[in-house]
Each structure stands twice: as structure tokens, then as C-alpha cells.
Structure 1
Amino acid sequence: MNKNRVILSIKGLEKSFHLRKILDEIQLDIKFGERIGLVGYNGSGKTTLANLILGKEVQDRGHIEKSPDLKIGYLSQSIDYEVNDFQESLKICEVFQLASELGLKKVQNWQDERLEHLSGGEKLKLALSSIWASKPDLLILDEPTNHLDLKGVNWLISEIEKFPGSVLIISHDRHFLDQTVNRIFELEAGKLQFYQGNYSEYRKEKERKIANQKHQYEVQQRQIERVEEQMDQLKSWSDKAHRTSTKEEGFKEYHRVKAKKRDAQIKSKMKRLQSELGKNKVDKPLEEATVQFEFDSCGKRGKRIIEAKNLSMAFKGRYLFRNSQFYINYGERIGLLGENGCGKTTLIKIFMGLVSRTDGELWKSDSLRIAYLSQDVADLPVEKTAIEALGLTDRDHIFKARTMLANLGLKEQFITKPIGTLSLGERTRVKLVDMLLKDYDVLILDEPTNHLDLPSREQLEKTLSEFTGTIITVSHDYYFLNKLCNRLLVFEDQQIKRFEMGPEEFFNKENKKDEGDQKEILMVIENKIAAVLGELALIDRQDPKYPLLDKEFNELLKQKRNLIG
């Protein structure tokens, strides 16, 4: 298919909800094979735009034109899939293979009862496998990495790279966007802006544009001030001339003419100013959201706060981890790494005292005050408002909570609504504020950036880096984890192992180890090749051993080529 062929075109698209215009005069083209990231604040209309493309919503104005027979594969953000969503797809052989690559073993044998108790990660992996197996022309992925482990994220990156069609990705995962897209669509205040490059390149270009617009705006404001000062001076002189024309006998006509001249000059300057603004007005750049977090850690405590000896945890006869030894010191930033289902969230629940270990010892300082942010935002009372859910009655605390919620992007109209009407990102903000209002010295965060938009993620990173207490976090946001964590607890081979390094160093270590293993294997192969060549040189072609050695030689050459790529 022609790479320059437009497969989807949108012209003059508008959509409003409750008198608020979400999308305003949207124009865009998507060409075959393009890799596009759609970014913007929570509530800016990204998912609405996707639903309009899919025909799930109807636009107020404008046109959406699609290529004939365009097949769209859509991954929903909510992952609100039911058993019957997977029953048909699990009859397709290719779905088993794709699910297996994502770590779901023997999925073809799963019964309805097993499908009814899928985790968020398992639902997402099955949905991705089904979408991929349908062989779409256009992929629309709404927050596809929210429940994927790093293995799953890397699989998705490689599949997108191989995918021949077009991809539109709605995501707040900066690492994922950097690896997958080469064009950014940004939705802001109902308008769509276009940027070339991945997420990092988009951020640099946007910052440059904002700085340039701010400079032009300030220059124009100074020009307006100068003209307005001149008009004020002329008006002052005109008023004086008008007053004098009524008092000085013999000079009335002179002062009247003078006053009219000043009035004409004022009108002329006003007209020129309005004309200039009409042609070249520079708008003040929209201020990017500044999200304020105020952590207040109490005084430093004893150095070691958690220690595990021979810690084991089994679930329905299957061990998640066993005989694990590790410790956590005060002030450390600990990242938990491992595939989905390895027991990361279970370990957090053990720390919190929410579940009991199967075996071993876990010592925890009695004086610890722990704040816990779970990845589940469905446990808030849906009928209550944000303030009611926080359980606040003191006037000062209510004022502080309102300020925090506003700083997090939850304005008054959202604070007074029932939580059931809020988005997942808005509910996460309510839970964050609940943490902020308490004193603590340990933060346990389970996927804290899920459902947060990019400005909130970046501000959260900045603030957590200034927090003096201990942080224990599970996250599939590689940027977030790498920026924050300086120690790791890694789940592998049914054990939890402590590493004195951050994620980037850990993964580079693994790559270096693989490189070392490859060099060793290559050396063995080259020694075997040399030995076979030595034998071939000593025998005749008619020798019965010759074809066997020749076959071995060719097989060794093939292994060498595969190894060095």
C-alpha cells in the first residue's frame, strides 16, 4: 500500500458536552504506516476523538472520511472487558501464540470461571492479542501500557515496529512514546497542534514555541502600553483644551480647534492599534498546569525499617516467592521489578499487614507511619463528593484539601460532583490528596502514575525526589521508575533479590551479561570451526567422513551467522 496514502481524514470536527466545547475545528490526516502519539491533559478530549473516529460518538459538526474497508483495531483505556469479549477470540489459534508471548501460558485451556477472575494486566494482554490477531489497518491504543510489565511493554514496542499499518497511541508513558511514535498530535483547549518527532522532541519544540510566543506577547504588550500612555496624554491635553475653550474669551475657537485635533489624534492612534491587533495579535501562551504536592516527612528514624528472612508466599498451592532475604533502609527509594503475577502487589499487601505471609519472617519498625496508594481507584465511595470522601470536617483542613485538589487540576465543579462521575485520573488525584493530608515517613505506591496526565507525572517525580522518607513503588512507567529509584527488589525464579542500583543500570547489566555470554558461545563455535577445518584438510573428498564433517562445518557457520546477526 502507498505510504503517502491518506487512510483517514478529519475536517472541521466539533464536539461539545454540557455546553463545554471539547473539540473545536479539528483538522487532521492520517497516512498509511504513520506512528502518531496523541497527548494532552486528562479531560482534553483524546478518548472522545478516538470514539468519534470509531463511530461510538457522533460529532456536532465536521466530517470524518475513512478509506473503504478500513479495519480499525481499538484497545479501550478502561479495560472493561467481560468474559464474552474473550470467548470467541480464544477460538483463534494465533491469539494463543500472541498471549503466550505476553506471558499468559496455556490460555487455550482457560474456562469461563478463570476468565471471570482476570487481573487488569491479563485482560489487557488478551485484548491486545485479539486486536493483533484481527490484522487491522489502523491501531488505536488508549493507554496500552497501564497494566503491562516491562516484558509486555518491550513486546508491544517490537510489534508496533513490525506492524505495517498506521498506529494512533493515546498515552502518558513517555518512554513508550519515545520508542514508538515519530509524530505528536497535542490536544489543548479544544485545538489540535502538530509536532514532528517523538515525545522528547515534542517537549523541546513546545518549550521553544512557548518561550518564543511569550517573548512576542511581552513585546506587543509593551507596545500597547506605550500607545495607551500616548493616548492618555493626548486625552489629558484634549480635556484641558475643552475646558479652556469655555473660559478664555477671544481664544475659544483656538482651543476648540486644538481639542478637536487632539480627539482626532486619539481616534487615529486607537484605530491603528486595533488594526495592528486585528492583523498581528499575539495571544498570551497558555500556562502549563503546575501541580503542587506538599509532603511533610517526620523526623528521621532508625536506619533499617523492614527486614525479611526466608520470606515465602504461596497462593492456591503455587509459590509466588520463597526463602527470600532482603532489607529496606530509611530514606531509600525502592523499585519493585518483575513480570505481571510474580507477587509485587502481594508483597506490598504483606508490608501493609493486609495479607499474611505463608512462611518466614518479616520484621517492620513499629513506629512507621505508612501511606499507601493502590492502583485500584474503584474503592472510593461513588455517591460522595471528593471532600466528603476525604472525611474532612475541620474548616482549615477542608480549605487545604480544596487548594490541593485545585492544584492537581480538580476545579470546584469537579469537587462538588459525586466521585462516580469522575474519570479514573480524577479519582487518582482524590486518593493522592488523601495521602498528602496525613503525616507519614514511608510511601508505598502501586502504579502511582496510572491515569495521571503528563504534567502531573512530571510534578509527582519532582516532588517525590525531594521527599526525605522511604519510597517503595511498583510501576511500569520506566521513566518514572528510573528517575525515582536507586535500589531494586527484583522478582525472578520465585525469589526476591535486592540490587544496589537503579533500573537503567540493572538492565544494562543484563545486556552486558548477554553480550559476555554471546562472546563465550562465539569463541566455542569458532574453535569448533577451526577443528573441523583441520580435519577436512587431512582427508580426501572420497572419505566417508568428509560429507559428515562438511555438514557440521556448514551448520557451525550458520550458528555463527545467527549469533553475530
Structure 2
Amino acid sequence: MILLQTQDICKSFAAEPILTNLSIEVKLGEHVALVGRNGAGKSTLLKIIAGAISADSGQIVMPKERTMGYLPQNATLNSSRGIYDELLTVFQPLLDTEQKLHQMEAQMAAHGDLSEKDYTQLLSAYDALLADFKAKGGYTYQAEIRSVLNGLKFGGFPDNTPVSNLSGGQKTQLALGKLLLIKPDLLILDEPTNHLDIDTLTWLETYLQRYPGGILVVSHDRYFLDKVATKVYEIARHQAKKYSGNYSRYLDLRSAEYEQAMKNFEKQQKEISRLNDFVQKNIVRASTTKRAQSRRKQLDKLERMDKPRGDEKSANFSFSTEKQSGRDVLAVTNLTVGYAGQAMIKDLNFQLTRGDRVALVGPNGIGKSTVLKAITGDRTRLAGEVRLGSQVSIGYYDQEQTSLTGTKTVLNELWDDYPLKPENEMRNVLGRFLFSGDEVMKIVSQLSGGEKARLLLAKLMMRHDNLLILDEPTNHLDLDSKEVLEAVLEDYSGTILFVSHDRYFINHIADHVFELSRDGLVAYLGDYDYYIEKKNEQAELAKLEIETAAPAAQTATPSSGKQQFLQDKEQKKKKRQLERSIEQMEQEISTLESSIDAKQQSLITPEVFNDTRKAKEVQAEIEANEARLAQLMEEWESAQLAIDALEQ
């Protein structure tokens, strides 16, 4: 069933076309990704579909009985409620039904002068209302709220934490959670992965993979798109083109499509050249003129192919080092970091050697950026030692982009650092980062986030440092720019320490992963996939309480062949235990639901209906069973997520 169709959508801003005769469709159960360069019109299309702005022409078609939910970029919630009560508002109809059921139960349990007719009507109404309540999730909505709060990292917050006290990013996350609980038929998400750490991203992917409705999403997170998308629309040159499969499949199809189109074009060009040569050589000869005229007519009728247009222009740069550092690049000893004398993380110890590529990961707010700032000499270092090796020079990329001067032009932002270099050289450098012509005279404060990111990378390239410290370098970059940056860093000969939530980027760049937590730092010798593999093992061990967590140093050491065999064997054992646990929980859930139904039916029997004490006892048993049911549903979901993690 088709949930959404856009038909010939056109939109321009200040006479500049953004979308031209653009048409897409989303079917029930499809998870559709919109991809394309920054400024291609992806967010504009979502706003048009959601009704936030109007199209210049074209129409949006959606069945009237279907619902739509839209999460814009940097969505927020303005509420005086606590975080739990704010999500509870989603289930207000269920709460009203629950209250009405309790009132009807009280009527049936209390002594009264109900006539047989009134009693029969009340019983019939109660049965119908109870069936509707159960079908709409009356016994599971509390577990659903808890699941979303835990998944979005609000599990440690008191339920009465005011929404107004949350940060902007946290409000966006809570708005996402509220939308997920509403469960519209069509879920429209514009950059939902912003502000999410890796654990939360993983939870969201699992949730959306199981989402039964349609999804239309814009994201620059390739890992996320590979996990969630089942269809991709590429928006380029104001129009959309459809590809089946996830993001990686889209890249393969697009590449193959371009290669085939180029082969067909070249083949036709050869045929045209051959026909032209024949005409030129034979048109004036009496014996062959008719054949030449025939070839000329053939040429005139030929529908000529346009040369396939490749990718739009990409940034073209590289990072090089002016001098090589010594073998020992960085040593951090007993480092304590924080702000205004308040420590966030204490006693960190680690080392970097030449050529290391280390990703620093951890939950939002743990202090990753603060650690990077301390290493670069910022006042966030409260105690401990940061020692640089011989000939080490640091190039620092600040995710907050505070090193840029808002009042300068793009050209002067770069040129003022190298005033002795000619203007032409500075313009050539900026051109490699897609600033050409009059664009170099733009004021920095008027640049988009992606443009500022490219300008920062241009400044970093000019320094030729041998230790790059990068804080979220892929933020604001579109998919193409991320791929360019990855290729540049893969060829870089120096040492890299970086923070990123982009798992695809981490997996391509990192050969070590340092995980930062309140307990300190744990080192993993490997890329992101290796890190996740080890984290899953630890998580399952903790959940099943089979054994205590392994010491950090042991965790960071790659296993020998025998150890790996034993770990794999243990992993299969854990999966079987989880599956048995789920079966037991499902049996208990079924038993509880049957018990709740039976006890609710007993409330209307004469022996209970006419005995107030007995009715109260039955009602207390129902409430106890409902509480246990909600707990089981939450445990069941956690076990299912654990199995999914093992299978990845």
C-alpha cells in the first residue's frame, strides 16, 4: 500500500531552483532514505511533505486515514512537565480508558441497586472497552515509555526532571522519543542521529528496523543508513532518482549504472564516427553515393545520447607533514580534566606512538572533547601531565568552530595566517575546498556549518602538522565530503587522535579505540567492528551475570586462537540461554494476561460483585499482575536486543 506520493514538486528560493518536478513514493513498511549533497533540497522536501512550507507547484498525496509524524532538525520540546509525564501524554486516550475501566470496576464491585438490564449493559460495555484497551497496548505502554527513555539515555534521570531543564540536544532526543511512541504510519526524520552517541544510535537503529510503518529519513550517517534503509532516493540536480536497497547497495548500483551509461555513450560515439567517415568518403562517388545518403539519413534519425554526468565536483586536498615526529608522540599521565575546578574525568593514562590512529569514544557529556582540549593546552587540564614527543606539532580541529573569526571573509580567514603568500595561491587552496570565484568573499558568519567545516580543514591542511587532534571532524559534512576526508586521512603519514560518533568513519580510520567512561579509559586494539564485538561480549556477560567484568587491561588485549575459540563457544552458549529465557518469559506473559482477563471477568460474577472485600482483593491481584507484566515486557525487550547484538 502506498503511504505517500509526491507528484512533480517544484520549489525555488530567490529564483534559484531547489527542486524541479520531483516525484517519490513511500509504501507501508518501506524505510526510505534521501541522500544528496548539502543544499540539494533534502530537508526542503521533508518540510514540504510535512506541511511546514509550501511547494511552488506539484502535490502531496497521502491516504486520509493514515497518520504522519515529523521530526525536523534541532526539534525541541517546550514543556513544564517531567520527562516521564511528557512521554505519558502520548497515551492520554489509554489513560482515560484506564480510568473509565476502574470506575466501571468500582460500580460492579460496590453494592448497589443495579437492575438486571443495567448490569447487563454495564458488563457488555466493560468487556468491549477492556478488549479495546488491551488491543491498543493498555498493559504495555509503561514498559514502552521505559524502553524509549532507557534507549535515549534518560534512564538515569529522575522521572520528574523538568523538560525545560534539558539541553537543546536532549530536548531533541526527547522529541524523537515522543514521536516514536506515537507510532505514526509514516515517520519523517530529518537528521535524527544528531546529538546521539554510539550506544543510542545502535538502539535507534534496532528500533527503526522493526518499525512496521513507513519511514522517510535524511541522514549523513552511513552506518545508520545501511542498517535502516530499504530504498534510497538520490536528490541531485533538483531531481530524485530511486535505488533499491540500503546505502551501500545504492553506491554499487549508481557506480554500475554510470559505467554502463558511459560504455553505451562511447559505443554510440564510435558508431557515429564510423558512419560520418563513410559518408565523407563515399558521398561524392557515383557508385556509393546512395549508400552514403542512406547512412546520412541513419545519422539524422539517430537519437543521440548525452554524455553521462558523473558526480558533482568534490573537495580535493591532502594532509602532509612538514617533519616527521619521533617514535613516541604523546604520553598522558594521571590526567584530570574539567571546568572551573570541577573534575569530569580523573587519572587518565595512555600513550600514542607515531602512526597510531586512535578514536576516543564514549557517551555524550562524558568529557571526550574536554580531554582533547586539555591535550592541546586548554585550561580544561586540572591535574596530571601531557608530554609531547620529539618534533611533535599539533593540528587541532575544533567541532565548535570557535577558531574562526565571524567578521572576516573566507579569503582573509586563511590569508591572514599566511600574509606573505600571494592571493592567487590562497584562492587556489580555497578552490580545492569548493570555495571559488566570489565565494571567497563571503563573510564567515554567513557560512553554513558544512562550509565552515571545509574552511577549518583548509586551515588545518596549510599547517602540515604531524599530530592531528580532531573533534567531530565529520559534523556538518555531507556524505561526499566525508568520503573525501576519509581518503585524505587514510593517506596521512602522521598520527591521529579523534572524537567521532560516525561509526563508518571510525571503522575506516581507527586502528585503536579508546573508550572513555566514569571509571577511566579502556583501550581496544582494533577498528570499530572489533570494539563492538568486544563490547557485546561484555554486555552479555553482565546481563547474564555469568561472571564479573574482565579487567580493563585484559579486555584491551586481542585473544589468542584458543581464547577466541572459547569466547565464540561462550557466545553461542549465551545466545541459547537468552532464547530459553525469552521462551520462559513469553510463557509467563501469556499466563499473566490470561490471569488478568480471568480476574477482570470475575469482578462481574455475583460472588465477587456482591462482596466488597473480595472485589478489592481481586482488584489488588489484577494490579499486581499488571505491574509484573510491565516488568516482564521490559525484560523481554532487553533480551531480544541482546540476541540482536550477538547476531551482528
- The reply to whether TM is greater than 0.5 is yes
- CA shift, 1:29, in A, is 1.6
Determine the structure 2 residue equivalent to 1:360: 384
Tell me the amino acid that sits aligned with residue 78 of structure 2.
D
Alpha-carbon distance in structure 2 between the residues aligned to 1:369 and 1:414: 31
Determine the structure 2 residue equivalent to 1:277: 303
Alpha-carbon distance in structure 2 between the residues aligned to 1:482 and 1:270: 57
Deviations 1:348-377 (A, max 9, x none): 110111223233222234743222212224
The equivalent position to 1:442 in structure 2, one of 459, 462, 467, is: 467
Determine the structure 2 residue equivalent to 1:203: 251
Determine the structure 2 residue equivalent to 1:164: 212
CA contact (8 A) 2:219 2:225 kept: yes
Deviations 1:435-482 (A, max 9, x none): 112221111111111221222211211110111111111111111101
Tell me the amino acid that sits aligned with residue 272 of structure 1.
Q
Structure 2 vs 1, CA of residues 190 and 330 (structure 1 numbering), >3 Å: closer, same or farther?
same
Determine the structure 2 residue equivalent to 1:464: 489
CA contact (8 A) 1:100 1:106 kept: no
CA contact (8 A) 2:75 2:175 kept: no
Structure 2 vs 1, CA of residues 387 and 35 (structure 1 numbering), >3 Å: closer, same or farther?
same
1:153-552 pair list within 5 angstroms: 153-233=201-281, 269=295, 271-277=297-303, 281-315=305-339, 319-365=343-389, 367-377=391-401, 380-392=404-416, 398-514=423-539, 518=544, 520=546
TM-score of the aligned structures, taking structure 1 as reference length: 0.79
Alpha-carbon distance in structure 2 between the residues aligned to 1:414 and 1:192: 27
Determine the structure 2 residue equivalent to 1:102: 152
CA contact (8 A) 1:289 1:455 kept: no
Alpha-carbon distance in structure 1 between the residues aligned to 2:80 and 2:439: 38
Alpha-carbon distance in structure 2 between the residues aligned to 1:119 and 1:294: 35
Alpha-carbon distance in structure 2 between the residues aligned to 1:114 and 1:349: 26
Tell me the amino acid that sits aligned with residue 47 of structure 1.
S
Specify which structure has the bigger relative contact order, considering alpha-carbon pairs within 8 angstroms and separated by 6 or more residues: 2
1:119-158 pair list within 5 angstroms: 120=169, 122-158=170-206
- CA shift, 1:385, in A, is 3.0
Alpha-carbon distance in structure 2 between the residues aligned to 1:378 and 1:34: 41
Structure 2 vs 1, CA of residues 20 and 232 (structure 1 numbering), >3 Å: closer, same or farther?
farther
CA contact (8 A) 2:370 2:380 kept: no
Percent sequence identity is: 29
Alpha-carbon distance in structure 2 between the residues aligned to 1:443 and 1:274: 59
5+ residue gaps, structure 2, are 90-144, 548-572, 581-634, 644-648
Give the aligned length: 499
The equivalent position to 1:33 in structure 2, one of 26, 29, 34, is: 29
- Which moves more between the two structures, 375-384 or 180-189? 375-384
Alpha-carbon distance in structure 1 between the residues aligned to 2:349 and 2:432: 41
CA contact (8 A) 1:102 1:152 kept: yes
CA contact (8 A) 2:187 2:215 kept: yes
TM-score of the aligned structures, taking structure 2 as reference length: 0.69
Alpha-carbon distance in structure 1 between the residues aligned to 2:184 and 2:401: 32
Alpha-carbon distance in structure 1 between the residues aligned to 2:75 and 2:458: 26
Structure 2 vs 1, CA of residues 401 and 174 (structure 1 numbering), >3 Å: closer, same or farther?
farther
5+ residue gaps, structure 1, are 239-257, 530-558
- Which moves more between the two structures, 467-476 or 397-406? 397-406
Give the SS at the match of 1:358: strand
Alpha-carbon distance in structure 2 between the residues aligned to 1:388 and 1:44: 28
- Which moves more between the two structures, 414-423 or 57-66? 414-423
Structure 2 vs 1, CA of residues 86 and 128 (structure 1 numbering), >3 Å: closer, same or farther?
farther
- CA shift, 1:219, in A, is 0.9
CA contact (8 A) 1:220 1:282 kept: no
Tell me the amino acid that sits aligned with residue 296 of structure 1.
S
Tell me the amino acid that sits aligned with residue 175 of structure 1.
Y
Alpha-carbon distance in structure 2 between the residues aligned to 1:395 and 1:212: 49
Tell me the amino acid that sits aligned with residue 175 of structure 2.
A
Alpha-carbon distance in structure 2 between the residues aligned to 1:277 and 1:114: 65
The equivalent position to 1:43 in structure 2, one of 36, 39, 51, is: 39
Give the SS at the match of 1:29: strand
Tell me the amino acid that sits aligned with residue 164 of structure 1.
P
Determine the structure 1 residue equivalent to 2:586: none
Alpha-carbon distance in structure 2 between the residues aligned to 1:112 and 1:28: 36
- CA shift, 1:277, in A, is 1.9
Alpha-carbon distance in structure 1 between the residues aligned to 2:545 and 2:82: 43
Deviations 1:296-318 (A, max 9, x none): 21222222222222222345786
Determine the structure 2 residue equivalent to 1:241: none
Structure 2 vs 1, CA of residues 468 and 66 (structure 1 numbering), >3 Å: closer, same or farther?
same
CA contact (8 A) 2:79 2:163 kept: no
Give the SS at the match of 1:452: coil
- CA shift, 1:173, in A, is 1.2
Deviations 1:131-182 (A, max 9, x none): 3244333222222223211111011112212333211111121111111111
